[in-house]
Chain A
């Protein structure tokens, strides 16, 4: 099915071989439309993180074509990487917050280091803190927050530059079920505001509750792509792809 609009994220024949010879991705084809919410599922080491890393250009594909928001990421020169990263928000399992900065400072940091005007920082930071529900804890340090709150702070930081795409690598991997539910709801809210969200996860409950598009990876290949999928294959409408 071809979309009339160019996809927000498009991978064609993408292969990633790490210098140690490990073939992390093998001829991956994937299109993600603007406003999509996509789960990447699969066992550990099947290439979920590698795929995300290619999108924000932490890794470089060995072969194939990658387009993110109109940018040819596979051909992107190093100098242009910062420009790409400003179109993307990235969230990790371990939050990656700066422990010696407050929540407010952590979020503002992401704007300040891109040379944003103080006026814009003052306007934008409260807005995203409100969105993730952390306004009342903005003066606290990461160490004083629960895991869920830390992840919300990290999401606020990822969103502060108004990215069109939010990439999440195991966002609930370190969280208990209650916090997991909270973060999942937040991601859904963000998606409803029009942000394209891609979540690599191991969490069956999250995937099954959300019933969104599920892309399944196995040994570096996409083995299934379901429109309203479950964590385990075969429960939803399945479109099995040929290699």
Chain B
């Protein structure tokens, strides 16, 4: 008994096989275009999502890095209390650094920052309190650390960019959720369209398939051209998407930087080559999985 599963390649076999795949592929041009288009849209969305997520993470982490906690001390604070607070801050493992800023230095810093706008010489006495400037290792710890410092005696008030931190974290989470939902929907749509395309090809080729089965072609051999067709849909769609994204990047990137100077993106927030590889791989995966399922359902081998 011949081993039906072994397919040792020779040029004639390869040519025959590719001919069959191309024949399938060119049979339903309209469906093929629809399938490729849907994959392209899906992959463009995925690319944009990965880009925006990267950009947000980039901007976010830079903003969060700048977040520090300022603990203002009471005006009647005693040196012993200051020492105790310094001790407490040094003990907390969540805290990366804590710097004591005496009010004289605070005033000097204020003068430096507001030079030319406010005449601080008008001040007859220093209205600023002493304070500690505290940085945490992780931005997520900021609220808890602030709360624990607030309870210490001699501490008047604790201030940090609460709103900014919370907004940023929330925005990131919401955008991620919306993005994932949209992409999942598009993945499903792309998958359904590809599998329908394959179904039409299977239907169009039912005579060939019947004959293949009759003469003893193995299931794998019969399925392979259809899987390749799905793969082709996925990869072409992904390449199209990559081309669109690249065009968009070239056309829109300078304008984006111009329009949003505060974003302060150093460069592309994602590795372009890695992104292209990921997107093409995802396209190929949609194509193969969708056609695999479709062939499994519509082709009894």
Contacts and interface: CB of A to CB of B under 8 A. Distances in A.
| B partners with A | yes
Given A84-B216, A85-B214, A118-B10, A112 B1 contact: no
Contact of A161 (B212, B215, B221): B215
Given A96-B211, A98-B207, A83 B1 contact: yes
B204 to A, nearest CB: 11
A112 B13 contact: yes
Contacts of B207: 96, 98
Nearest to B222: A113
Nearest to B7: A115
Nearest to A122: B12
A168 to B, nearest CB: 13
Interface residues of B, number: 26
A123 interface: no
Contacts of A109: 208, 211-212, 215
A119 B10 contact: yes
Interface in A10-57: 56
Contacts of B11: 118
Interface in B95-129: none
B114 to A, nearest CB: 82
Interface in B1-19: 1-2, 4, 6-8, 10-13, 16
A117 interface: yes
B216 A85 contact: yes
A86 interface: yes
A157 interface: yes
A212 to B, nearest CB: 25
Interface string B202-232: 0000011011111111110110000000000
A114 B1 CA distance: 13
Interface in A121-140: 121-122
A135 to B, nearest CB: 20
A117 B215 contact: no
A142 B215 CA distance: 19
Contacts of A157: 215
A90 interface: yes
A3 B211 CA distance: 34
A161 B214 CA distance: 12
A79 interface: yes
A114 B215 contact: yes
Contacts of B210: 96
Grouping DSSP codes into helix (H, G, I), strand (E, B) and loop, the A interface class, with mixed when no group exceeds half, is helix
B12, B13, B211, B216 interface centre (most CB from chain A within 10 Å):
B216
Contacts of B10: 117-119
A199 interface: no
B197 to A, nearest CB: 20
A194 interface: no
A152 to B, nearest CB: 16
A83 B13 contact: no
B87 to A, nearest CB: 75
A119 B10 CA distance: 9
Q: Among B13, B211, B215, B222, find the residue whose CB has the most chain A CB atoms closer than 10 A.
A: B215
A187 B32 CA distance: 45
B217 A83 contact: no
A82 interface: yes
Contacts of A121: 12
Contact of B4 (A96, A112, A114): A114
Nearest to B209: A113
Interface string A58-85: 0000000000000000000011011111
Contact of B215 (A78, A86, A118): A86
Please list the 3 inter-chain residue pairs (A to B) with the smallest Cβ-Cβ separation, ordered nearest first: A118-B12, A85-B216, A113-B217
28 contacts: A82-B217, A82-B219, A83-B216, A85-B213, A86-B2, A86-B215, A90-B214, A96-B211, A96-B214, A98-B207, A109-B211, A110-B211, A110-B215, A113-B212, A113-B222, A114-B2, A114-B4, A114-B215, A115-B8, A115-B218, A117-B8, A117-B12, A118-B10, A118-B11, A118-B16, A121-B12, A161-B215, A161-B216
Given A83-B216, A115-B4, 19 more contacts: A56-B214, A82-B4, A82-B219, A83-B2, A86-B215, A96-B211, A109-B215, A110-B211, A112-B13, A113-B215, A114-B217, A114-B218, A115-B6, A115-B218, A115-B221, A117-B8, A118-B11, A121-B12, A161-B216
